[in-house]
Structure 1
Amino acid sequence: MGETHSSIGAPTPWGVGLQPAAGPVKEAIHDFNTLVLWIIVAITAFVLVLLAYVVFRFRESANPTPSRTSHNTMIEIAWTVVPVLILVVIAIPSFRLIYFQDRARDADITINVQGRQWYWHYAYPDNGNFAFDSRPVPDEDLQPGQLRNLSVDEPLVIPAGKNVRVLTTGQDVIHSFFVPSLGVQKYTIPGRTLETWFRADHPGTYYGQCNQICGTNHWFMPIQVQAVPEAEFQAWVAEAQKKYAQADGRPAPVAAATVAQQMAALPR
């Protein structure tokens, strides 16, 4: 890709917290993470204050004759009802987020992702049905700007600002398609087709890895998503249709079925 993109989704040295959001799915994950974090902070602070009060108020010197009370109906109701209410507060946005991530609505493009030992296989059924493999760049071949164990020889190229439907499957064992900055994570399971989606709001390079321990070369499955403007994407598609074609001119075979067949096979 000839253009240099400023947005980069990758781990940073001594980084704390989640990677910055590059699309709506990760923004929703950030919001939910913040909600749960503040709930945890409030619970921790309450327990700490309560523990300090109990230690001070009921120390032996201030309370030489301890109470023998063993039950308190109101306290027992409170410590049952309050945790239930807290779990409800967490559960509602949690389920909303799960369903938000689950299926692409008004997808602009579909990409088939197949995990293999040990590399990724990508197919573009909406754009000529071409397919290619993606493997990490060896350390000795790294160019300036490329990241060790994250940069690949053939990145997954997508149009920026478009909803990308991802249909995953596995060839051999379970792998996991995981790009933190885009908020996408889905298992690739042999014999099953699963769906998820993401959108990169801005052009950039976003990195991920297989986060399912899938064998000896599990580390050998980085993911590099290259989000480019629509015009640049169309130019790349035209070039890719020729680059990944077979010698006789026919499109390279795609491991997965057509989009319609895959969507019909998805569990509802």
Structure 2
Amino acid sequence: MPTWMKLNMMNGTSPIMEQLIMFHDFTMMIISLITTMVMIMLYLNLKNKFSNRKLMENQMIETIWTITPAMILIVIALPSLKILYLMEEINNPSITIKTMGHQWFWTYQYSDKKKLELESYMTKKKNKIRLMEVDNRIAIPYNTQTRMIISSSDVIHSWTIPSIGMKMDAVPGRLNQISFSIKKPGIFMGQCSEICGTNHSFMPITLESINMKNFIKWMEKN
């Protein structure tokens, strides 16, 4: 794979992330076209040796360069508003998980099983992924709508997993919620994205997506 293809967003594993990647590519195409057009116009102006000293105004040109940027902004804004609406929508979640941020670890509580509460610390084992693996992974079935209620017990944290396109602040005394669905099995990692103290970079997030059958077994085991 060429280097320029690797310098991009992470592969989308949720419908929201796929929409974000498509919107990113769409806006980058528009920006590239605008940049190319401006560079061509600058080049032609530098090479142009003619001047019109009697030209005072041109209503047509002024109308075009006023309406065109407005139309481009509308074209960009419409899909952006659609994605914002999809990210905020809560579609009858099958599973609800309460997430609490602490200095410097996460706790997860499954609403379907009140006694199931996990404390997730960064593991120090050398054979694991450095600074990203945890001792207790959070498990979620794929192709299942999941709601996560997020808060904090001390300072502001941020629960973030880039590959599923989710980022939500954990604010003390406030409950924030997000809804997402993962499309395939796998292990997805993230980190706290809010500077929350000395060990801010040592509170990773590891989510494991499994099928419903294995998820039920996991719930019964714990």
Residue-by-residue CA offset, 1:112-156 (whole Å, 9 max, x unaligned): 111111111111012334212111111xx132xx31111111111
Match of 2:37 in 1: 46
Partner amino acid for 1:30? I
Q: What is the CA–CA distance in structure 1 between the aligned matches of 2:54 and 2:8, rounded to whole Å?
A: 46
Match of 1:117 in 2: 103
Match of 1:220 in 2: 202
Match of 2:174 in 1: 192
Give 5+ residue unaligned stretches, structure 2: none
Match of 2:23 in 1: 32
Q: What is the CA–CA distance in structure 2 between the aligned matches of 1:172 and 1:85, rounded to whole Å?
A: 46
Match of 2:165 in 1: 183
| Matched position secondary structure for 1:122 | strand
Q: What is the CA–CA distance in structure 2 between the aligned matches of 1:195 and 1:92, rounded to whole Å?
A: 24
Partner amino acid for 2:9? L
Partner amino acid for 2:18? E
Q: What is the CA–CA distance in structure 2 between the aligned matches of 1:72 and 1:106, rounded to whole Å?
A: 57
Q: What is the CA–CA distance in structure 2 between the aligned matches of 1:194 and 1:71, rounded to whole Å?
A: 54
Cα 1:71–1:212 shift into 2, 3 Å:
farther
| Matched position secondary structure for 1:211 | coil
Asked if 2 retains the 8 angstrom alpha-carbon contact of 1:103 and 1:195, the reply is no
Match of 1:245 in 2: none
Match of 2:47 in 1: 56
Cα 1:158–1:47 shift into 2, 3 Å:
same
Residue-by-residue CA offset, 1:158-187 (whole Å, 9 max, x unaligned): 111111111111111111111011111111
1:132 and 2:114 correspond: no
Cα 1:239–1:50 shift into 2, 3 Å:
same
| Matched position secondary structure for 1:132 | strand
Q: What is the CA–CA distance in structure 1 between the aligned matches of 2:153 and 2:56, rounded to whole Å?
A: 60
Residue-by-residue CA offset, 1:217-257 (whole Å, 9 max, x unaligned): 110111100011111111111111xxxxxxxxxxxxxxxxx
| Matched position secondary structure for 2:159 | strand
Q: CA RMSD in A?
A: 1.6
Q: What is the CA–CA distance in structure 2 between the aligned matches of 1:221 and 1:71, rounded to whole Å?
A: 61
Cα 1:103–1:126 shift into 2, 3 Å:
farther
1:98 and 2:84 correspond: yes
Match of 1:67 in 2: 53
Partner amino acid for 1:109? I
Match of 2:13 in 1: 22
Cα 1:155–1:30 shift into 2, 3 Å:
same
Q: What is the CA–CA distance in structure 2 between the aligned matches of 1:199 and 1:149, rounded to whole Å?
A: 25
| Matched position secondary structure for 2:46 | helix
Q: What is the CA–CA distance in structure 2 between the aligned matches of 1:69 and 1:215, rounded to whole Å?
A: 61
- Identical aligned pairs, as a percentage? 32
Match of 2:217 in 1: 235
Q: Deviation of residue 68 (structure 1)?
A: 5.6
Give 5+ residue unaligned stretches, structure 1: 1-13, 241-268
1:142 and 2:143 correspond: no
Asked if 2 retains the 8 angstrom alpha-carbon contact of 1:21 and 1:181, the reply is yes
